[in-house]
Structures are given as structure tokens and as C-alpha cells.
Chain A
Amino acid sequence: MGVVNLTKTLKGKTGWVSISPDHKRVIVQAKTFKELLLKLKKMGNPNGFIMIVAKDFSNYIG
């Protein structure tokens, strides 16, 4: 185990994304959270993690 590198998994993705528990696969993506939930429901709510993929995280200052 080590740092979780999501760069490959999330390459070319933006918006709301659900990724698999092993962080290696995008299950589904959507423009809004509500849309993502609907898509997940249609898939039987598989296990995974929800996150937002920004175009660029590098300039974030909290």
C-alpha cells in the first residue's frame, strides 16, 4: 500500500464521479450529484466512492 494515485483512473473525467472501491475504475460520472445518484440507483447502488473531479486541483487554496 502507498499513496493512492487517482490520476490514471480520473484521466479525462470531470464533474461528479463514482469510482470503484479499489480506486481503479470509474463506475459512472454525471454533471450533478442528483444525476449521479439516479445513475447509481439504476445500477443497483454498487459499492464505491463519490468525488468531484475538478479540471485542475493544483491551484486550490482552502
Chain B
Amino acid sequence: MPIKIWYESLPKLPQILWPIVELNLHFKEVTVPQQLHALVDSGANRSVLHPLIAEAIGFDRKKLGKPKTGGFSASGSYKAWILPELIDVYMYGYTFSVRFTVIDNKQLIWPCILGEDSIFEFARLDFQKYKGYFEIGFRRDIN
């Protein structure tokens, strides 16, 4: 049975509906103590983790080296790190591991963005914005 998730409306323009999920992150011995809001973005090739969260769960910017150039978004180019280790994501009773990209921008407005290389690999997503919800059907062959 797919999981039904209602879209969320945020300040300023509540008529804009956002496909947001709530997830837990775990890396080695560190678990973020609360669930994080994550934007589900089919237009993102890579899944993104906020740099301040990456730092807090144990990724040292100095050890990661200089961020690499060459990333492109709708707003232009960006520098980013691809994390050397996978991070476990728990959501709605399912688990998967993600190699997050960390964009060198502390002003990023999403704690996490799930793109084509994460949730879209592990689940079928059916966006029904006109009904106010979307559905996630996790793959049974791997979950």
C-alpha cells in the first residue's frame, strides 16, 4: 500500500504546495534527534544535504577539501562536495542509504533535498497535487 503524504504550505504564499517528507538521518554513531523536513525534487539529479547538518553529523569541511566546481542549478553554478560515505535515511518505516551532495551554501533553505539518486531509486512516487497529496510506494524487491 502506498503511503499518502499531504503537501505542505509555507509562509508568504500558502497557495504554493510543497512535496515535503519527514525523515531521520543516521551516520555512524550520530542520529539527528528530530526528523528533518526534506523536499522531494524530481528535478534534482542529486540529493542534497545542508552543509551545517553535514558538519554536525561528523563531516569536517577541512577534511573534505575544497568543494568542486561544475554543479549547475536553476539559479546558476555552485560548488559542492560529494560525501565520501553513505548516510542512512529512515522514513515511514523504510531505510535506505544515500550519498549526499553538500552544496557550499549555508543559506540553502532546505535541510535536505531528495532527488533522483535517492528516493526515486527506492520508491514509486505519484504526485497528485490537484488532490493535495502525493503517494510513496516503496519497492518491495529491495525493501
How many B residues, CB 8 Å from partner?
38
Within 8 A of A (CB), among B53-68: 53, 55-56
Q: List residues of B (24-43) whose CB comes within 8 Å of A's CBs.
A: 32-37, 39, 41, 43
Q: Do A49 and B17 have beta carbons less than 8 Å apart?
A: no
Given contacts A3-B8, A7-B10, A57-B109, are A62 and B73 in contact (CB under 8 A)?
yes
- Determine if B11 and A41 form an interchain contact, defined as CB atoms under 8 angstroms apart: no
If A3-B6, A57-B16 touch, does A52 touch B34 (CB 8 Å cutoff)? no
In angstroms, Cα B14 to Cα A33, docked, is: 25
Contact yes or no, B56 A37, CB < 8 A = yes
Q: Contacts A33-B50, A50-B35, A51-B37 given; indicate if A2 touches B132 (C-beta within 8 A).
A: yes
Q: Please tell me if the beta carbons of B33 and A6 are within 8 angstroms of each other in the complex.
A: no
Q: Which of A1-29 contact B (CB under 8 A)?
A: 1-7, 10-11, 18
Given the known inter-chain contacts A45-B34, A57-B11, A58-B13, please indicate yes or no for A32 contacting B109, CB distance below 8 A: no
Neighbour of A52 across the interface among B6, B43, B56, B109, CB < 8 A: B109
Classify the secondary structure of A's interface with B. loop
Q: Is B119 an interface residue (CB 8 A)?
A: no
State whether B10 touches A49 (Cβ < 8 A): no
- B128 to chain A minimum Cβ distance, whole angstroms, is 12
Residues of B within 8 A of A4 (CB): 6-9
**Docked pose: A37 CA to B75 CA in angstroms:** 30
Smallest distance from the beta carbon of A44 to chain B beta carbons, Å? 10
The residue in A18, A37, A52 that gathers the most chain B C-beta atoms within 10 A of its C-beta is A52
A34-B52, A52-B111, A62-B113 in contact; A11/B11 too (CB < 8 A)? yes
15 CB < 8 A contacts A-B: A4-B7, A4-B9, A6-B10, A7-B9, A7-B10, A7-B14, A18-B34, A47-B34, A49-B35, A49-B37, A53-B10, A54-B10, A61-B74, A61-B75, A62-B44
